[in-house]
C-alpha cells in the first residue's frame, strides 16, 4: 500500500493531531481550556508529574482535592491519550464507585458532555451512563 500523501489527511485528523500535540504533556492546560478548571499549585504538580513520570506519590490529608485532581487526570487521559485504559483504585469498592467515579461523572456531565474526543484519527463522542 502506498504511503498517504499529506493532502489526503482529513480535517478531523488534523484537528486530532493538533489537539494531542497541544495537550499531550500539559494536562493543566487541558483542564483550564477544556473544562474551565483552575487548579492550585499542588494539584498542578500532581497532573504535570503524571504526564511526565511513570510513578507519582501524593501524600496528603482529607479534603485537600485529591479526588478532584484524580478525576481531572482520568478525563484528561481519556480525552487526550486515547485509545487507553485508565485503572482506578481505592481502599474500598464504594470509594472507587461512589466517590471517585461520582466525581468523574460530575465533572464530565457539568463540563465535557457533548465535547468531541479525538481518538487516534477522526473523532468520537464520549458518553457516560448511570449504572442500573
User: What percent of the chain shows pLDDT beyond 70?
Assistant: 82
Q: What is the average per-residue pLDDT within 112-117?
A: 74
Model confidence at 70: pLDDT above 90: yes
Distance between CA atoms of 16 and 99, rounded to whole angstroms? 31
Enter the pTM of the model.
0.81
pLDDT at 131: 57
Amino acid 40: pLDDT: 94
Whole-angstrom distance, CA of residue 127 vs CA of residue 32 = 21
Cα separation, 130 vs 107, whole angstroms: 14
Greatest mean pLDDT range, 13-17, 48-52, 90-94: 48-52
All three cell numbers of 2: 502506498
Report pLDDT digits (tens) over 33-52.
Answer: 999 999 999 999 999 999 99
Find the mean pLDDT for residues 66-89: 90
Q: How far is CA 112 from CA 36, 97, 106, in A?
A: 10, 20, 10
Ramachandran area for residue 65 (φ above 0: left; ψ -120 to 50: alpha; else beta):
left
Placement of cell 499549585 in the chain? 41
- 124 pLDDT tier (thresholds 50, 70, 90): very low
Amino acid at each position: 500500500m502506498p504511503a498517504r500523501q499529506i493532502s489526503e489527511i482529513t480535517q478531523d485528523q488534523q484537528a486530532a493531531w493538533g489537539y494531542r500535540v497541544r495537550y499531550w504533556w500539559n494536562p493543566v492546560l487541558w483542564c483550564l481550556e477544556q473544562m474551565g478548571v483552575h487548579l492550585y499549585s499542588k494539584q498542578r504538580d500532581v497532573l504535570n508529574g503524571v504526564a511526565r513520570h511513570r510513578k507519582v506519590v501524593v501524600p496528603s490529608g482529607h479534603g485537600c482535592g485529591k479526588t478532584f485532581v484524580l478525576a481531572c487526570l482520568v478525563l484528561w487521559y481519556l480525552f487526550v491519550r486515547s485509545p487507553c485504559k485508565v485503572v482506578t483504585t481505592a481502599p474500598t469498592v464504594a470509594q472507587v464507585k461512589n466517590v471517585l467515579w461520582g466525581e468523574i461523572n460530575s465533572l464530565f456531565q457539568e463540563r465535557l458532555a457533548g465535547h468531541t474526543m479525538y481518538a487516534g484519527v477522526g473523532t468520537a463522542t464520549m458518553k457516560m451512563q448511570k449504572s442500573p
